[in-house]
Chain A
Amino acid sequence: MKLLTRDRYRFPLAAILLVVVALVAAGCAGSSPEDGGGEEGGGELTWAIGGAEAAPGGVHQEVAKMWSEENPDTPIRIETLPDDAGEQRQQQSLELNAQGSGFDVLGMDVIWTGEYAVNGWLESLEDVRAEIEEVTIPGAFESAAWEDELWAAPYNSNAGFLYYRTDLVDEAPTTWDEAVQVGLEVGKQEGISPFVGQGAEYEGMVVNFLEYYWGAGGEIFNEDATEVLWDEEIALEAVEFMRDSVENGFYGSGFNTFLEEESRNEFQSGKAVFMRNWPYVYGLASVKKESDIAGKFDIAPLPTFTGEGTISALGGFNNAVSAFSDNKEAAKEFVVWASTNEEVQTLLGESSLPPTMASVYESLQDDPVMKLLGEVLPDAKPRPPAPEWNDISVTIQQEIFPAYNGEKDPQEAVEAVGAFLEESIQE
């Protein structure tokens, strides 16, 4: 090739090659020290957690900083995972399945406890059980245990709220029918969507659906998950409500592509009357500079079909110690600290992340989010923490999502879910 022999080209070519080699070397060198949380056992801990608050500026980052300042020999660093809980689980399970030591502390969604424990991915926390149990609210504590053994330290809880525009609506609705009526009226007047929630094909949609299903009196399993209590009629009612909401416009256009952040975006820019979302939105939507509705909205318990009581899905994160961590002692101390330290839990509460420590609810009573949580949390229902939950959730997604979008017959969909639940019990 002429290029290699012409003198004029030799120098630039050599320079380019050198740059490429340097870049490659830098790339390779950069990645190796990160692998493995602690190098000599007294090193840095890695906390794998996702969601809006794990990003720089979020409250989890502040908690990590607090710990690192108080424990300079074992600082902790956050490995930010994606926003979507399903994708967080994928990332964590890839590492854990390879028995990698890259993650020391795992920020686990409450529904994964059973699955992770059965796979042998977690370090048991039975020896610190008493310490944690005495300060934690009961629902959150149960979500961190599987078959009566404690596998994770509750960190934050979560429940669904109804957000509503105080400048457009006088009072929060107590039934879904009322919400639909008011929403459609006001929405038409103002030219905005009546309602936004999480309708995309993922776990969040399952949460929204279950809130309707439970709100109509349905159950999934009995106490110890030995019997399926899936009621096809009630499920059909819930699916048809969703289907009708798409058709009559109660669900704003695009509802079936929204996750938490998209629905927050819509509501925060003033384009919706009602929203179903987690408490974290309250803090963010109150910031005048970023939100178009600061001061013009409020929160209320979710409506039901009967108008009595309220129901919401219990969510949240628990911190667990990876069974493959190089630094289990320090990791264990961190998870217990995050669960039982008053300052940390208060910090969470102030950022609209429901704490799991009972005493914080009393001390922060003036905060509107905490007050509503105090009302709603006792009635918040957990999804079954069974190891098969992921499969069940995927089945519900695949059946109910097309059903409410008019792509599938609702009766067939609810029957298919029932059949799958029966199958999973038998295993």
Chain B
Amino acid sequence: MSATTVAGRTPAVRRRSGFSDSALARIFLSPSVLVMALVAAFPIIYAVILSLYLYQGRLREGFGGLENYAEALTEPRFWDAVQATMIFTVTSVAAEFAIGLGFALIMRQTFKGRGVTRAAILVPWVIPTVIAAQLWYFMFSVTPGFVNDVLGLERFNWLGQPGWAMFSIVFADVWKTAPFVALLLLAGLQTIPDEMYESARVDGASMWQRFWYITMPLLKPAILVALLFRTVDALRMFDLAQVMTGGSFKTEPLSMLVQRFVVETPNPGLGSTFSTLTFILVLAIGVLFVRALGRDFVLSTGGE
């Protein structure tokens, strides 16, 4: 790997005039970097600046320094939101992973009707999240009560109790994104050569042993990618909670807290504070994952 990936030092090709390879690379990268700076870096920095000011309604009242942060970190609603976000993330990612892996293993097999099965498994993922949320809202709601009718329960208040409200949201999210995880894992599964399974079978390995000793280790990079994507997405969930419960019954995620304070109340200073704190949290978790991913990636693909 090392010989081909070091830029700018390709031997025997010397530019006659103009830029060196690395300068050219920088020039070509600059439009993307500029766009990212505008679209990503600017709002983050602006939010940090806004969070340092105090607001009354939409009128700026003065420089507050870290006063907003002190208020945000002692606000019980903030810690409730952190808890709700964490519970949602852990349960939905775990469930999506388990179900997605099952789907991927099924989709990998060759059987009659495989194409149809694959398409059917993928349909939920294709529906826009907010529409899926609205659909599940109607299903779980006491009126008209589809889920209650199907399960034979009389007026069970799914969306109106702490615990079950979160369950409904997690359910809708897993229904929608397990196919996405399945796709990512299927791609990983397809890189595992069949010869490995054949030789294992010849050696007398059982199905479980083949799964645990061949599939899982070789699938690790794909698993980590899927977990990274889904975790960061779940930490930012907004529409499911907004549509299904409005944030009541301990289902208010961090992003909804931010929206309440930035748009609804409004208090741009405090809202930006929540926004920055959320950003730091998601960034920290993302970095942890990428670190774990990076190490594993390198180790499993041959070393640097």
Does B130 lie at the interface of the complex (its beta carbon under 8 Å from any beta carbon of A)? no
Q: Which residue of A lies closest to B245 (CB)?
A: A257
Within 8 A of A (CB), among B154-170: 155-157, 159-160, 162
Instruction: Verify A391–B159 contact, CB threshold 8 A.
Output: no
Does B65 lie at the interface of the complex (its beta carbon under 8 Å from any beta carbon of A)? no
Within 8 A of B (CB), among A223-281: 252-258, 262, 265-266, 269, 271
When distances are taken between beta carbons in the complex, the residues of chain B under 8 Å from A257 are 141-142, 157, 159-160, 245, 248
Q: Which residue of B lies closest to A84 (CB)?
A: B246
Instruction: Verify B248–A90 contact, CB threshold 8 A.
Output: no
Give A191 Cβ to nearest chain B Cβ, in Å.
9
Instruction: Verify B57–A254 contact, CB threshold 8 A.
Output: no
Does A390 lie at the interface of the complex (its beta carbon under 8 Å from any beta carbon of B)? yes
When distances are taken between beta carbons in the complex, the residues of chain B under 8 Å from A269 are 143-144
Task: Known contacts A201-B246, A401-B248; decide if A253 and B142 are in contact (CB<8 Å).
Answer: yes
- Chain B facing A: main interface SS: loop
Within 8 A of B (CB), among A130-161: none
Give B282 Cβ to nearest chain A Cβ, in Å.
24
Which residue of A94, A252, A387 contacts B263 across the interface (Cβ within 8 Å)?
A94
Task: Mark contacts of A68-107 with chain B using CB atoms, 8 A cut-off: 1 yes-contact digit, 0 otherwise.
Answer: 0000000000000000001000100110010000000000
Does B233 lie at the interface of the complex (its beta carbon under 8 Å from any beta carbon of A)? no
- Chain A facing B: main interface SS: helix
Instruction: Verify A90–B263 contact, CB threshold 8 A.
Output: yes
Chain A, interface residues (CB within 8 Å), range:
20 to 34
Task: Mark contacts of A388-405 with chain B using CB atoms, 8 A cut-off: 1 yes-contact digit, 0 otherwise.
Answer: 001100100010010000
Complex-state Cα separation, A265 to B156, whole angstroms: 17
Instruction: Verify B246–A254 contact, CB threshold 8 A.
Output: no
Complex-state Cα separation, A407 to B159, whole angstroms: 15
Complex-state Cα separation, A378 to B143, whole angstroms: 34
Does B58 lie at the interface of the complex (its beta carbon under 8 Å from any beta carbon of A)? yes
Task: Mark contacts of B76-89 with chain A using CB atoms, 8 A cut-off: 1 yes-contact digit, 0 otherwise.
Answer: 01000000000000
Does B266 lie at the interface of the complex (its beta carbon under 8 Å from any beta carbon of A)? yes
Does B265 lie at the interface of the complex (its beta carbon under 8 Å from any beta carbon of A)? yes
**Given contact pairs A257-B248, A265-B143, a sample of 14 additional A-B residue pairs in the complex whose CB atoms are under 8 Å apart:** A90-B263, A201-B248, A202-B246, A252-B142, A253-B142, A253-B156, A253-B157, A253-B160, A262-B141, A262-B143, A266-B143, A269-B143, A391-B265, A398-B77
11 A-B residue pairs with Cβ-Cβ distance under 8 Å, sorted by A, are A97-B266, A119-B58, A201-B247, A254-B143, A254-B157, A254-B159, A256-B248, A257-B141, A257-B248, A262-B143, A391-B265
Interface residues of chain B, those whose CB is within 8 Å of chain A, are 57-58, 77, 141-144, 155-157, 159-160, 162, 245-248, 263-266
